[in-house]
């Protein structure tokens, strides 16, 4: 999953992918938290690596449990620095759009989280989390009664089929690809180039809808993670009759508790109650407030100042995926009245400096940069101990198989970077290869990261040419195979607790394509072979293979320099109730909110 400022979050985690999350903290506390606090935080993060349970029909029946003290009415203001990456569910793989999707769209399944952080998969549009047969190769879902979209049209199995098949169309390029590749292979677009819009469909042996209420998936191998996959925002339902293809990204039809009243790209988004949403069919969501007003273009520093002051409408405001701005963290934590309005937690993202290996071809150059980068400085810009911990490898503490002491580049001992080692590696490297083009988003955090990268690499003798990229389309721009950049900071987190959702999406050679998350363009036969091996093993055997793949990538390929593990530290207004850290979103749980006074 992509993190936004960081790309999509889940603590399951879900999201995956691409822009949304940036972590912030305090410049006064510039520690990198590599001691006892980091160990404690990582132990807490391990909760997110627990296996997810699948609910039956009883656990999938609405309404959702009432939140103690919750009231109805009022409008929540939502602050965000960058505009949304997408609104089309099929394009959603970034945490900003994922948060909004929780309010707007329903899927076949959905993640449900209790107050202790335990996560299960429940039936959302389906009556349960799915019924498995044929050893996991076949999955059957039955739709609940009375499900309608915001226009009052009934949702049927035809809409589910359409939602799956439209993912094969070329205009869908930025969402998850698990389901499509599982059904039709790595070259899935060739199986249905028209995306179902031309009247051609996937065969019944792959996807069957025998009646209006039944959907059956057939795979060539067991897919026991399917309920978690279908719970991703990227697989939310798109009603067939209202699909406008590429234009759908700006005016999608809601199926969740809220619908879109108005959307001004990069400026504002206004949501109001969807009168056709039936709480009796939804075991996860609520409809306490009358609506949400999203205000884009508000920097994290401005967000933080407003929320600390807590005046007027700011009492009803939250941060979407941003956090407390680094230089103001001390102002928050030293004020008990303000500090109690925060939520914080470990995220699943590993922030790394990713190399475009089509341009940075010399392994020594990639290794030198990996030694040189200054994690300490970067984390200070994110808020020190409140923003993250030093990352010595590619697996986050939230991921099964995480090895806290696996540190081939000595990142834990030299978080400020090993300039001498980097200079040694660069001896004899031609001057032309010392010029590197670094892409960064035009946000406050992006500016801080730019300074830290330039400072570290300049000490080694690199000529860093920094190029500013629009934050909202950052992952779209670096996701182009022919992008003009040598390196960029990206963040990726597990889509559910399995290394398969990290190694496969970002290092599989089949993911070297426009819009695919293999941003380093890794196409290595040994990596592909290890991925294939792990995907066909039992979990306990696969765990060893995933570690082998990670070690090979980090030591022999070096597609990216690991930088830091992210944390979230968010603030909300004093009138916002139900605030809690959501391990599924790795953010403020937007499904759990109400206003104390409307």
Question: Which one is predicted more confidently, 39 or 72?
Answer: 72
Percentage of the chain beyond pLDDT 90 is 83
The pLDDT of residue 501? 92
**Alpha-carbon span 288 to 309, nearest angstrom:** 25
Write down the pLDDT at residue 536. 86
CA angle 267, 471, 264 (to 5 degrees): 15
Strand (E) or helix (H) holding 75? strand 75-80
| Predicted pLDDT at 42 | 60
pLDDT in tens, 382-406: 988 888 999 999 999 988 889 999 9
Residue 95 has what pLDDT? 87
CA distance 132 to 139: 5
Q: How far apart (Å, rounded) are the C-alpha atoms in residues 410 and 559? A: 17
Structure tokens that stand for 551 in this block: 């070690």
- Condensed to tens digits (0 to 9), the pLDDT of residues 113-123 reads 988 778 899 99
Q: Name every residue whose Cβ is closer than 8 Å to that of residue 543 and which is 6 or more positions away in sequence.
A: 400, 401, 499
Residue 570 — φ and ψ, nearest 5°?
-115, 155
Give the pair of three-digit tokens for residue 377.
């400085």
Alpha-carbon distance of 261 to 263, in angstroms, equals 7
Q: How many CA atoms lie within 13 A of 152 on its CB side?
A: 1
Helix (H) or strand (E) holding 570: strand 560-571
Give the residue from 9, 28, 20 showing the smallest Cα distance to 385. Answer: 28
Which SS3 state, helix, strand or coil, does residue 577 take?
Answer: strand
pLDDT, tens digit, 9 for 90 and up, residues 69-95: 999 999 999 999 999 989 999 999 988
Check whether 6 has a pLDDT greater than 70: no
Per-residue pLDDT reduced to its tens digit, 158-186: 999 999 999 999 999 999 999 999 999 99
CB atoms within 10 A of CB 351: 33
Average pLDDT across the chain, whole number: 91
Alpha helices in 363-418 (DSSP H): 363-372, 375-382
pLDDT at 589: 95
Q: In which order are the strands placed within the sheet that holds 388-390? A: 388-390, 560-571, 342-355, 487-492, 435-441, 463-469
Output the CA–CA distances (angstroms, integers) from residue 560 to 91, 341, 365, 485, 557, in the order listed: 25, 36, 11, 14, 9
Question: What confidence score (pLDDT) does residue 5 get?
Answer: 46
Contact 492, 502 (CB under 8 A): yes
């Amino acid at each position: 999953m992509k993190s936004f400022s960081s790309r999509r979050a889940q603590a399951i985690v879900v999201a995956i992918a691409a822009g949304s999350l940036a972590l912030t903290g305090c410049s006064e506390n510039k520690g990198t938290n590599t001691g006892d606090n980091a160990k404690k935080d990582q132990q807490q993060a391990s909760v997110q690596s627990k296996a997810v349970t699948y609910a039956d029909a009883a656990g999938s029946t609405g309404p959702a449990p009432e939140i103690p003290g919750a009231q109805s009415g009022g409008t929540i203001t939502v602050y965000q620095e960058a505009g949304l990456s997408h609104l089309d569910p099929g394009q959603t793989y970034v945490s900003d759009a994922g948060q909004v999707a929780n309010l707007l769209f329903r899927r076949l399944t959905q993640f449900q989280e209790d107050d202790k952080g335990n996560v299960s998969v429940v039936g959302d549009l389906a009556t349960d989390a799915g019924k498995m047969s044929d050893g996991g190769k076949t999955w059957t879902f039955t739709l609940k009664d009375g499900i309608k979209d915001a226009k009052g049209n009934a949702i049927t199995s035809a809409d589910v089929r359409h939602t799956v098949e439209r993912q094969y169309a070329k205009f869908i390029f930025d969402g998850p690809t698990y389901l499509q590749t599982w059904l039709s292979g790595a070259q899935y677009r060739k199986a249905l180039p028209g995306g179902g819009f031309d009247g051609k469909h996937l065969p019944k042996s792959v996807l069957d809808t025998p009646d209006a209420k039944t959907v059956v998936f057939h795979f060539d191998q067991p897919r026991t993670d399917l309920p978690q996959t279908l719970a991703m925002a990227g697989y939310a339902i798109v009603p067939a009759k209202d699909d406008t293809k590429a234009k759908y990204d700006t005016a999608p039809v809601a199926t969740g508790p809220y619908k879109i009243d108005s959307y001004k790209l990069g400026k504002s988004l206004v949501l109001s109650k969807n009168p056709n949403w039936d709480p009796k069919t939804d075991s996860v969501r609520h409809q306490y407030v009358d609506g949400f007003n999203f205000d884009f273009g508000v920097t994290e520093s401005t967000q933080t100042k407003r929320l600390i002051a807590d005046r007027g409408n700011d009492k009803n405001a939250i941060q979407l995926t941003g956090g407390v701005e680094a230089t103001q963290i001390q102002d928050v934590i030293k004020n008990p009245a303000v500090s109690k309005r925060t939520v914080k937690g470990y995220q699943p993202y590993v922030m790394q400096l990713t190399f475009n290996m089509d341009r940075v071809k010399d392994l020594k150059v990639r290794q030198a940069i990996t030694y040189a980068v200054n994690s300490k400085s970067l984390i200070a810009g994110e808020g020190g101990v409140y923003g993250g911990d030093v990352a010595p490898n590619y697996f986050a503490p939230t991921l099964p198989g995480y090895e806290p002491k696996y540190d081939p580049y000595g990142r834990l001992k030299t978080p400020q970077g090993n300039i001498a080692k980097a200079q040694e590696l660069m001896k004899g490297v031609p001057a032309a290869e010392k010029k590197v083009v670094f892409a960064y988003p035009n946000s406050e955090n992006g500016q801080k990261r730019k300074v830290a990268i330039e400072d570290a690499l300049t000490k080694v003798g690199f000529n860093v040419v920094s190029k500013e990229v629009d934050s909202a389309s950052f992952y779209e721009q670096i996701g182009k195979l022919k992008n003009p950049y040598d390196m960029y900071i990206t963040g990726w987190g597990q889509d559910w607790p399995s290394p398969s959702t990290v190694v496969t999406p970002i290092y599989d050679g089949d993911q070297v394509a426009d819009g695919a998350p293999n941003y380093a363009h890794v196409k290595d036969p040994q990596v592909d072979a290890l991925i294939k091996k792990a995907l066909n093993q039992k979990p306990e055997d696969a765990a060893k293979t995933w570690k082998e793949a990670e070690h090979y990538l980090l030591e022999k390929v070096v597609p990216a320099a690991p930088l830091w593990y992210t944390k979230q530290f968010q603030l909300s207004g004093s009138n916002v109730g139900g605030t809690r850290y959501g391990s599924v979103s790795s953010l403020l749980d937007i499904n759990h909110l109400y206003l104390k006074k409307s």
